[in-house]
Amino acid sequence: MSNVWVASESAAIEVAGLTRWFGQTLAVDSLNLTVKAGEALGFIGPNGAGKTTTMRVLATLDEPDVGDAYVCGFSCTNDPDRVRHRLGFMPDAYGAYPNVSCIEYLDFFARSYGLVGRERIRAVKRVLEFTKMSHMVDKPTTGLSKGMKQRLCLGRTLIHDPQVLIMDEPAAGLDPRARIELKEMVARLLDEGKTLLISSHILTELAEMCSRVAIIEHGHLLAAGTVSEILEKYSAQEVSESGERLTMVQIGFLGSGEALLGFLNQRTKGELQIKGEQVECVLPDNPEIWAGLLCELVGHGFQITSFIPKQRSLEEAFLKVTRGRVQ
């Protein structure tokens, strides 16, 4: 009888108390994680944090010592066959078989998933069109560029039209154009209602592709939430000793920076940094104070070209949450 997890009907992926040891190394420690149906979750952590181990368990390539993971309600431990028909796994490293063309490669995986006849032909055609590789059907897989190999691997992952996709470092080694094209394909997958779990060290792009992120280190989940929630809680914004929220503001200028620094030193607290034609200063998180200072600067004859709060980044939040520990 199938073991179906029903604790959260809206979850396409659910990791429940997952623990995995490798000898004396605790790779994943009582991890709980949920990915809602139809969303993209960015899975972030330093090397050795336990991300790949978690994804391998979800892909039914490994088994937990304690706990379980569920895909579309089915246990990865007790119902691996049902999970595999609903899940596509795109690993960070994959084989390109020699003496095999792109269409032969995809056809092999379509057969592996039990697709036959016209159904198999339609599946291969569908993924070739989705990945924009229809013009490369006869090209040997070993002759593909890094970007084209990534497309081919994504096509292989999609061949059985899974509801859930797990992508481990899909943008690694790609040039800027290939990364942009990958982001476009991710957006199309979300438009089709797919659920995505994406691991990547390119955090800026991950923030663009995913609505939510989860940060893991040393096998523990440290933080999870929407990108805006994570940025609000953990990014560069600081608090003064009196409890006042502070923001780094970048002021662009023309002319002498020394005069501007002297003026700002009398009106702001904290260290000032000059970077080229821009000064960074810490101000209270209050737009009225910003507007007043800007009026003063212009009124005293300073040529101000820009006055904007420093954009908070997922990289800054990541550095604040994690401590760089590895297993």
Same-domain pairing of 199 and 272: no
What pLDDT, in 10s, does the model give residues 304-321?
999 988 777 788 888 888
Taking CA atoms, 291 is separated from 54, 199, 200, 303, 310, in Å, by: 48, 40, 39, 15, 16
d(C-alpha 281, C-alpha 310), whole Å: 10
* 252 — pLDDT class (breaks 50, 70, 90): very high
CATH code for position 38: 3.40.50.300
What is the pLDDT, as a whole number, of residue 131? 94
Task: Tally the domains of the chain.
Answer: 2
CATH code for position 302: 3.30.70
Compute the average pLDDT of residues 219-226.
92
Same-domain pairing of 68 and 175: yes
Compute the average pLDDT of residues 283-303.
92
d(C-alpha 39, C-alpha 240), whole Å: 36
> Is residue 179 included in any domain, yes or no?
yes
Residue 6 pLDDT exceeds 60: no
Residue 237 pLDDT exceeds 70: no
Q: Domain range spanning residue 307?
A: 240-311
Same-domain pairing of 169 and 286: no
Same-domain pairing of 88 and 211: yes
d(C-alpha 295, C-alpha 275), whole Å: 22
Compute the average pLDDT of residues 130-149.
92
What pLDDT, in 10s, does the model give residues 55-98?
999 999 999 999 999 999 999 999 999 999 999 999 987 777 88
Q: For residues 162 and 206, which has the higher predicted lDDT (pLDDT)?
A: 162
Compute the average pLDDT of residues 223-229.
90
What is the pLDDT, as a whole number, of residue 5? 43
Residue 236 pLDDT exceeds 80: no
What pLDDT, in 10s, does the model give residues 13-31?
999 999 999 999 999 999 9
Write the CB contacts of 316 (distance below 8 Å, at least 6 apart in sequence): 234, 235, 236
Are the CB atoms for 272 and 281 separated by under 8 Å? yes
What pLDDT, in 10s, does the model give residues 254-281?
988 888 988 998 888 777 888 888 998 8
> Is residue 320 included in any domain, yes or no?
no
Same-domain pairing of 252 and 224: no
Same-domain pairing of 223 and 280: no
Residue 244 pLDDT exceeds 80: no
* 198 — pLDDT class (breaks 50, 70, 90): very high
* 322 — pLDDT class (breaks 50, 70, 90): confident
Q: Which of residues 177, 212, 232 is at a domain's end?
A: 232
What is the pLDDT, as a whole number, of residue 61? 96
